[in-house]
Structure 1
């Protein structure tokens, strides 16, 4: 693997130098989406608002083409899986799990150890959970993925950070789009989006529906999403924005299978045993209603000073009938974030200072009942949990001589929990008692140094510290109780990277190598009933190489030399992720698991693609993913199957007259008809690791838009 890494890196670097010998001036800006030109695309990560080429960090970018055109199925999962270092799972429709550089080893379900924002509005609550399945990909226009610890600006977390943006609103226009789709296993969806852009405002309102019977027994899904995003320029210096989200989601959870059960019938749900009923018998599933309202205020004192302050409130109504119990909970979240930037562009060392603070609070009521075939029975526990997170941060970005740019950041992070269990019976009950878990506040520094070489090449090196306190669902796991001994993760990441373009920007590449040493790594355990709890696993070493390269066989419209009369885009691309993640000093009972591979992280992940767009309106996308086997438990006694997944989309998009646009498409998934699992249950009790994913399937859809 090391030899492959070195050869791949040398290939990309040499490819740049060979192409740059006779390189003409950089191409002009293209009307196509910004992923086409590494030299021009601007990213928001680390508050830089600079070209990606000038940003000293590993940042992956997904645009609307990646999110809403490349794949027919309207979920975030396949698009996220095209990015090096990112792995998204869907164990059953609607059950998302996200790993950025292996951060999901502590997540049996849901998204933890990752921070998420929508234009500075925090989406991750104080308990460390991110409601990724409450977002609809059809309402998103762009995602930036910061890979690795970003605590110097975004607070606690060792995995990474997601920055979401909504759909772009046409200036001075109103657009209405209607969409519908249908496919295999009862898949059906529809949606409507209304956008209006006036001189001082931009508003988007969208509603999307999705439902499916599911590939496996007991894996149906129904989801409705409503999204409101508005921006209002109330004066030359003041902008007010609003974000409203509502999601009503229900999906059934079929449960994990043993290897023998999976090989015999991958579509089966978890069967009953001598002591426990099956998933279908207990009507296991998730019922989740999520509401979010956020307001952002941006004030520009001058060209050099501006402030953005946001406030939000959220509510979640959650129910989870499980095989052994029935959990009902309600969350109320409040929070805010303020960021002020000072720009000093003149002088010998032009510098931008960023200072700010973030405060999050979540109050949760949790009650557990017996589960009588999907109906809550006798109450078992009655609990309240309060989570608080506070972060203070500062960053300086300085332009040094010789085209160097230095970024230095520092934050102070404080995480606190309060837990109360109330008596559930009158006779012999213990009185309610408040338990607390306050983690010692930590300082998280980050330093990055970048150098540009002309307009088409840059290299960077960074050192950053990561810190991740246990989340709400880890201090209060489904196995019950309040864990007062679980310690936060903390580590240091060292990273170097190079990115650039050549051959009139037809060839683009981005390569990063990192080493992350993590202490007190949090891992999942399960009891005999399948409920999870969490322990610290000592130290882990995480090494990786991430690379992406693309080449335009036909230069896109707008590039110099792009004169082809038929083809407007023909691109091939290759992304690669190589990892070596291992436990160090890890003792599990009497077994020494030191030097074992960390489960759930594939040593090699390759994603290849071809994109074609014709001037006549035809477009096609072909994507192939390969993951080699990886361990499914800490002991490394069980291995996954290799994943070979081929996906394709063929569509036709054409303006009709001056106001109408028609877009029709067909899409195929798992075209090689592989039996595979998109998400495994790691360290599962009874070796029930497997969750079968759909074999070969297809869908078709249509979008009609009216612009005036």
Structure 2
């Protein structure tokens, strides 16, 4: 009954919006209503309009992150961007790929750099605890696609730049929220903000829990974050970031196709040689703490420096089917960026120079797993990860509306591994160092504007990605002395702009990434992961974003019904293939790289009325793709319809109420959101829920 009511309400809101009008309009945030030729992005430290940025940058605003979808997770919002694919194989288990496959990441986020206001979130081992972050604490995310090592260090995937919720100047705000939905979903949140006395302070607490759609798939997460920015003088700003996340989620494990079709809600059953996921209480226990300080100093209008230092700690436990891993990470690091502007030179130029240093110390022990309780010790190991980057970039305005960007960085990655003997007759104590040869990564981009509304760019960038700590030192223990870094070169052309009086916006990018020593995942007979280099790969793709505004924010009048009515479509076409890949005696050259859909098409409708009602409809289609290197197993095509209908209204000058209902998988299609690639025993499938719904409320007061 609940499912039918939600479906009827959501569809009615789209088809018959006229009966939903009320009074007391609520304006959207300024950034959500800006046109393409007005949006400013921070990518590559340019702080320029997106129209003037010679790179593919995807932008998610607060509307995309916290209004378009009801579920408080980053996954659906990231999946609306062309070239980006986020998976949640079980609730809380995130995986992210930007212009590439997820073959390096059976779990977790690797080969992608992440920052929160210049503070690095990615550790020295190349890993990002993306599931430790709560989407309700963000107001904006920029996604830089492709290699960005000239400014952000090692990596061939891309870069994420997070920003917190905007704090209104001169105001204080308290917001309370609650949500509930199918399969025991429940959450609540508290936001405290103040923008008074030359400061901007935001405190966020968010709780989320769910029983999960599948057996052995429950999740509980608590997040606490504090951000503060203090203008201590006209030239000096000090910022602070503190995060704490306590996350536990169960891992149901992959199913074969027969098991998936017979009972998609089942967890991985026992076999003749291995127990089931439920019997071993398989899951993740993860506590993450982060504290960072940032200092910005403006010597003059032409010179400024931002320097950030941080420390992290992670307590991680993973009872798995075959073992029980306990890991502790302690990390420190810093980043400094100086910008020097020469606005009055014959060729106006902005020079950016800086560096970044990351260090992690990891203690990793493996035990036997006796029903979710650690048994006798199997391995006792330590790993020190170091990563350093120095970089320089120049952006020069040339005649005839051209702008040239040239950057160069030096990247150095080192691992020190120690294995201790744990029992008599076992492996002896060993110390191994892998100091990868430092590499220089250049990037050159040329952009030309054609009037105020259209621009085109070409770029060549290089990428370098050393094995992450979870690849060179997999969860089952050991240390690889043969796994090599992957190197890549990306060639890209792009065209973006607005036409038809800025009603029609478009952003088109055509690229080709050529990788050498591509890193791919393998599994042994027990299901434990290890990694190998797969030779050379070619990864060409086409990404398009098109949006049409039937109602322009600048033309909304007192007689208008809608304040926003937008139709948009994002399309990704790719043809990623192995070129030199020999697996034993089998030649896999020219096979498709698994895990990437050749076609991904996403269409959406966004509508907001001046009376306060809003509605969002999102349809995703993914063509079938390979699940293994041999291309003998294929996924099913994915069709996913999601919708949200809400009412947001100011009540007087101080109070605001937001009530919404959301539906997921409204077509009730059977699909897997996150496949286990190259899985042993053909256990590829992690079933996603059928048709389900949720609702929530937000109440805020400001003064």
Q: TM-score range by the shorter chain?
A: over 0.9
Distance 2:30 2:558 in 1: 15
Residue of structure 1 equivalent to 2:532 = 535
Residue of structure 2 equivalent to 1:376 = 374
Q: What do the CA deviations read for 1:56-93 (whole angstroms, capped 9, x no partner)? A: 00000000000000000000000000000000000000
Query: Is the contact made by 2:411 and 2:440 (CA closer than 8 Å) also made in structure 1?
Result: yes
Residue of structure 2 equivalent to 1:400 = 398
Correspondence list, 1:88-127, <5 A: 88-127=86-125
Distance 2:643 2:287 in 1: 33
Distance 1:88 1:36 in 2: 26
Residue of structure 1 equivalent to 2:661 = 666
Residue of structure 2 equivalent to 1:262 = 260
2:500 pairs with one of 483, 498, 503: 503
Q: Secondary structure at the match of 1:256?
A: coil
Correspondence list, 1:169-180, <5 A: 169-180=167-178
How far does residue 503 in structure 1 lie from its aligned partner after superposition?
A: 1.7
How far does residue 264 in structure 1 lie from its aligned partner after superposition?
A: 0.5
Distance 1:290 1:103 in 2: 27
Which region of structure 1 is more displaced relative to structure 2, 316-325 or 560-569?
A: 560-569
Query: Is the contact made by 2:310 and 2:332 (CA closer than 8 Å) also made in structure 1?
Result: yes
Residue of structure 2 equivalent to 1:326 = 324
Note if 1:445 corresponds to 2:442: yes
Note if 1:300 corresponds to 2:295: no
Note if 1:137 corresponds to 2:135: yes
Residue of structure 2 equivalent to 1:367 = 365
Residue of structure 2 equivalent to 1:231 = 229
Identify unmatched segments of 5+ residues in structure 2: 1-26
How far does residue 429 in structure 1 lie from its aligned partner after superposition?
A: 5.1
Query: Is the contact made by 1:100 and 1:160 (CA closer than 8 Å) also made in structure 2?
Result: yes
Q: What do the CA deviations read for 1:475-502 (whole angstroms, capped 9, x no partner)? A: 0112431001000000110000000001
Residue of structure 2 equivalent to 1:460 = 457
1:570 pairs with one of 565, 569, 572: 565
Residue of structure 2 equivalent to 1:480 = 477
How far does residue 562 in structure 1 lie from its aligned partner after superposition?
A: 5.3
2:200 pairs with one of 199, 202, 224: 202
Structure 1 residues 326 and 35, CA, compared in 2 at 3 Å: closer, same or farther? farther
Distance 1:335 1:658 in 2: 44
Structure 1 residues 313 and 73, CA, compared in 2 at 3 Å: closer, same or farther? same
Distance 2:610 2:599 in 1: 37
2:615 pairs with one of 611, 615, 620: 620
Note if 1:611 corresponds to 2:609: no
Residue of structure 2 equivalent to 1:87 = 85
Q: What do the CA deviations read for 1:488-531 (whole angstroms, capped 9, x no partner)? A: 00011000000000122111000000011100000000000000
Structure-1-length-normalised TM-score: 0.95
Correspondence list, 1:660-699, <5 A: 660-699=655-694
Query: Is the contact made by 2:32 and 2:63 (CA closer than 8 Å) also made in structure 1?
Result: no
Distance 1:285 1:664 in 2: 34
How far does residue 563 in structure 1 lie from its aligned partner after superposition?
A: 6.1
Note if 1:520 corresponds to 2:521: no
Identify unmatched segments of 5+ residues in structure 1: 1-28
Distance 1:139 1:693 in 2: 25
Distance 1:219 1:356 in 2: 44
How far does residue 657 in structure 1 lie from its aligned partner after superposition?
A: 1.2
Query: Is the contact made by 1:152 and 1:446 (CA closer than 8 Å) also made in structure 2?
Result: yes
Distance 2:235 2:38 in 1: 26
How far does residue 565 in structure 1 lie from its aligned partner after superposition?
A: 2.0
Query: Is the contact made by 2:366 and 2:476 (CA closer than 8 Å) also made in structure 1?
Result: no
Q: What do the CA deviations read for 1:371-397 (whole angstroms, capped 9, x no partner)? A: 000000001110000000000000000
Query: Is the contact made by 1:554 and 1:564 (CA closer than 8 Å) also made in structure 2?
Result: no
Residue of structure 2 equivalent to 1:18 = none
Residue of structure 2 equivalent to 1:390 = 388
Distance 1:103 1:643 in 2: 17
Distance 1:485 1:473 in 2: 15
Distance 1:30 1:92 in 2: 33
Distance 1:428 1:695 in 2: 52
Q: Secondary structure at the match of 1:463?
A: strand
Residue of structure 2 equivalent to 1:705 = 700
Q: What do the CA deviations read for 1:198-225 (whole angstroms, capped 9, x no partner)? A: 1310100010000000000000000000
Distance 1:528 1:560 in 2: 63
How far does residue 35 in structure 1 lie from its aligned partner after superposition?
A: 5.7
Distance 1:618 1:34 in 2: 16
Distance 2:693 2:279 in 1: 30
Q: Secondary structure at the match of 1:485?
A: coil
Query: Is the contact made by 2:101 and 2:595 (CA closer than 8 Å) also made in structure 1?
Result: no
Structure 1 residues 429 and 342, CA, compared in 2 at 3 Å: closer, same or farther? same
Distance 1:544 1:322 in 2: 37
Q: What do the CA deviations read for 1:624-646 (whole angstroms, capped 9, x no partner)? A: 00000000000000000000000
Distance 1:184 1:561 in 2: 38
* RMSD, matched Cα: 1.1
Structure 1 residues 31 and 161, CA, compared in 2 at 3 Å: closer, same or farther? closer
Structure-2-length-normalised TM-score: 0.95
Residue of structure 2 equivalent to 1:343 = 341
Residue of structure 1 equivalent to 2:645 = 650
How far does residue 584 in structure 1 lie from its aligned partner after superposition?
A: 0.2
Q: Secondary structure at the match of 2:64?
A: helix
Runs of 4+ in 1 over 6 A off after TM superposition: none
How far does residue 704 in structure 1 lie from its aligned partner after superposition?
A: 0.1
Note if 1:595 corresponds to 2:590: yes
Query: Is the contact made by 2:267 and 2:277 (CA closer than 8 Å) also made in structure 1?
Result: yes
Query: Is the contact made by 1:185 and 1:214 (CA closer than 8 Å) also made in structure 2?
Result: yes
How far does residue 31 in structure 1 lie from its aligned partner after superposition?
A: 5.9
Distance 2:477 2:588 in 1: 27
Distance 2:95 2:576 in 1: 19
